[in-house]
Amino acid sequence: MTVISTPTDFNAEDLYVDLRPIVGHDLFLKCEGFNFAGSIKLKAATEMVEAAEESGTLRAGSIIIESSSGNLGVALSVIAASKGYGFVCVTDARCNLSAQRFMEAMGGQVDIISEPASHGGLLGARLAHVQRLCASDDRYVWLNQYSNANNWKAHYRTTAPAIARHFPRLNVLFIGTGTTGTLMGCARYFRKLHRQVRIVAVDSVGSVTFGGEPARRMIPGLGTSVRPALLDESFVDDVIHVREEDTIRTCHRLARRGFLFGGSTGTVVSGAQEWLARQSDPGLTAVAISPDLGERYLDTVYQTSWVRALYGEDVLDQDRLAARLSRVGEWRGG
């Protein structure tokens, strides 16, 4: 029996899904969504808050403020509620409505930015709003997930060692990139061990993180319109860019097998499939990190009308046909 007194005391660290029956490659998915915030962001949020408390930056009466597309904001709202801090999340219209309602249920305030900045897009506008609020009231404490080293240290301390413990012969690790905290923490850990683990960053088409051209991105979580200060590309071996159409198809494919994952997870799995399909060695031991579960995407990624309105009528049809043909083959083979 597990008994806890604060929400950060529980985080399922050792759950993996064998995706070979679904994706056709040897790929293990590390599930990070089984905690009271529903995503991997609880780790970074906890580390950043505790460091701010230890330094005296965060104290009684403080209001935590952060720019977030959803998951980190949710995690911080949980911690703020449990510790008695105020909380303001600065986001934009791409933030899922369920995430907004979650933060408000925790007592947080959600400020939605609708107009992009001339340089930096919506993220640039969000950051400018955070800075204005901080200048207006010294109770605000901006943890700044985009440049806070405790973001990556959380994964250096927890996520990467957990993977190394269960996969001592790991060959390749696939990590989605947003702030790049998970990427940098895991990459630094495996580099320290002098292990030949290939680090593959998975990004969204339209993200500028690795020098790509900015373009419309509607699925929150991965990708940026401002290059993350935490990123050090010398730790990254390969980069895969995934179209949002492929993210959606992958999410639906996983859901048809009973696994409801979030958009970030769909992007990572899609990128891992693409990378593995190019390899000549079928014996690679591969792990992908799943940042989140799918309940917060029911009105977007899993809503047919939303998908077709943004990506076209046939975005799911080809994948559904392939799935039906695959099922027919399985039945005949049986």
What pLDDT score does 320 carry? 52
Sheet holding 238-242, edge to edge: 16-18, 28-31, 286-290, 172-176, 198-204, 238-242
pLDDT in tens, 66-77: 999 889 999 999
CB contact at 8 A, 98 and 75: no
Question: What CA–CA distance (Å, rounded) separates 201 from 77?
Answer: 28
Q: For residue 29, how many C-alpha atoms fall within 13 Å in the half-sphere facing its CB? A: 31
Question: What CA–CA distance (Å, rounded) separates 80 from 83?
Answer: 5
CA dihedral 217, 173, 15, 19 (to 10 degrees): 80
pLDDT in tens, 22-39: 999 999 999 999 999 999
Choice between 173 and 194, residue whose per-residue pLDDT is larger = 173
Please spell the DSSP secondary structure of 183-236, one letter per residue: HHHHHHHHHHTT--PEEEEEEETT--TTSPPP----S-SS--SS--TT--GGG-
- Residue 1's pLDDT band, with cuts at 50, 70 and 90, is confident
What pLDDT score does 318 carry? 58
Question: What CA–CA distance (Å, rounded) separates 269 from 28?
Answer: 10
Which pair of structure tokens corresponds to residue 208?
């500028």
Question: What CA–CA distance (Å, rounded) separates 302 from 110?
Answer: 24
Give phi and psi for 168, each to the nearest 5.
Answer: -65, -15
SS3 237: coil
Distance, CA of 15 to chain centre: 17
Q: Which of 153, 151, 150, 172 is nearest to 163 (CA)?
A: 172
Q: What percent of the chain has pLDDT over 90?
A: 77
Please spell the DSSP secondary structure of 12-65, one letter per residue: --S-EEE-HHHHSS--EEEE---BTTSBTHHHHHHHHHHHHHHHTSS-TT-EEE
Question: What CA–CA distance (Å, rounded) separates 92 from 123?
Answer: 8
The distance in angstroms from the start CA to the end CA of the chain is 41
User: Taking 60 as the threshold, does the pLDDT of residue 187 lie above it?
Assistant: yes
> Which domains does the chain carry?
7-31+154-317 (3.40.50.1100), 41-142 (3.40.50.1100)
Mean pLDDT of 63-92: 96
pLDDT in tens, 193-212: 888 899 999 999 999 999 98
Residue found by looking up tokens 């076209």 in the block: 312
Q: Residue 134 is which amino acid?
A: C
Question: What CA–CA distance (Å, rounded) separates 237 from 163?
Answer: 18
pLDDT in tens, 225-237: 789 999 999 999 9
Three-state SS sequence of 60-123: CCCEEEEECCCHHHHHHHHHHHHHCCEEEEEEECCCCHHHHHHHHHCCCEEEEECCCECCCHHH
Q: Residue 178 is which amino acid?
A: G
- Residue 169's pLDDT band, with cuts at 50, 70 and 90, is very high
